[in-house]
Amino acid sequence: MTLLRRSPLPAAVVALGLSAALLTSCSSDSADAATDNATRTDSADAATDNATRTDSATPRLALSYDGGVLVLDAKTLDVVGTAEMDGFNRLNPAGDGRHVLISTGSSFTALDTGTWTDGDSHFVSDPAVTDISFDATTPGHVVRHDGKTVLFDDGTGLVRVFDPTKLADGLPETTDYTTPEAHHGVAVELSDGSMLTTVGNEDERTGIVVLDRDRKEIARNEECPGVHGEAVAADETVVVGCQNGLLIYRDGVITKVTSPDPYGRIGNQAGDENSPIILGDYKTDPDAELERPQRVSLTDTTTGQLTLVDLGTSYTFRSLGRGVHGEALVLGTDGALHVIDPAAKTVTRTVPLIDPWTEPEQWQSPRPALFVQDGTAYVTDPAKNRIHAVDLESWTVSDSADLPQTPNEITGVTG
């Protein structure tokens, strides 16, 4: 495949597609080199020629590996593009059903996966790494909610909010806010324009603050040591994790839910905006360099009840997901997908998928990962360079495929 970097297309070209293939991109130097070598002025015309109309939306997946990103057709699991990118890169859907944001060392850069819908028409084209890039000293969390995407720069505390549907036109306008002190944090903008963001500095993180649309403080709680992660539940309820429980924000009120253990850390959550229940991890050893927990947490955001469910196997931060009907899904190190009824708080089913595995010491190292989209759970198997698709109605493996690289992170777009 010819490697090119695509510049943002004008709005008139958006409905016709993109043609440029993927490019090596890891720094400002490489971007400049790409600009020099690519025939950028011709890319829009080539995109028009290469766009293909389809009968329905074509979902795609993006998988990072050591040295780049693979783009797959989510239905066939065929590889449709590859981007070479040095270093460890993180992936998040941008929120428009088309682009994926790649967190590099110094930016959030948009990958156009080459699939989109314009009105009643559906199109596919070659994936392309774009020139749409949000500079960041230390790119952190990417949060999507209520049609807005929020980026958090851990190195500066800069929070940027934008409409992801504008990405097809180029770099969108952003609404910016900077936290008083930089820290590894997260922010969510709510439907009324208010913003919830974490409180902390380079030494500690202590809680959350809620700001109105004019960014004046309306609520605060700093009873949340080590605050990390976020999820949104039903009724626009936002939950963040603490080393001793959770904070729940709903209707202008922040409520603390305390863990049953003195140190009961919930740092990663999976929410369903149609369910009041939040799935979270659960760790109890403050001194562990690498704790391999076997219990997960289920928290009812309406009652504040926190329930622990024993899986009988460990899992990692890339193991959590939600099913079609709100089921809590956990990919265990036993190689199975564990299905939890969030109401009954019990494991109702296990789906064997891959060989048992051990969580690596370094969090950046490849390990099996779970991603859920359009009624399908995708599970990667780095040990065998494979990917499996599980139908979440029949709970059977609907497809499997070999991969040309060892997968690390996985995300996707609906098209």
Kindly state the tokens that stand for 363.
């969090």
Question: Are 19 and 125 spatial neighbours (Cβ–Cβ below 8 Å)?
Answer: yes
Q: Name which residue leads in pLDDT, 319 or 20.
A: 319
Residues in the chain: 415
The mean pLDDT of the chain is 89
Nearest to 355 by CA among 367, 365, 347: 367
At 43, the pLDDT band (50, 70, 90 cuts) reads very low
pLDDT digits (tens, 9 = 90+) for 353-404: 999 999 999 998 999 999 999 999 999 999 999 999 999 999 999 999 999 9
Look at 22-36, 38-52, 221-235 and tell me which has the smallest mean pLDDT.
Answer: 22-36
Phi-psi region of 14 (alpha: psi -120 to 50; beta: other; left: phi over 0): alpha
Nearest to 30 by CA among 72, 68, 80: 68
pLDDT, residue 4, reads: 35
pTM above 0.85, yes or no: yes
Alpha carbon dihedral 392, 396, 397, 398, in 10-degree steps, equals -70
Q: Is 78 exposed, middle or buried (0-12, 13-18, 19+ CB in 10 A)?
A: exposed
pLDDT, residue 134, reads: 98
Q: Name which residue leads in pLDDT, 87 or 130.
A: 130
pLDDT, residue 49, reads: 55
C-alpha distances out from residue 169 to 65, 134, 233, 287, Å: 28, 15, 31, 48
C-alpha to C-alpha distance for 318 and 320, rounded to whole angstroms: 6
Q: Name which residue leads in pLDDT, 85 or 301.
A: 301
C-alpha to C-alpha distance for 32 and 324, rounded to whole angstroms: 44
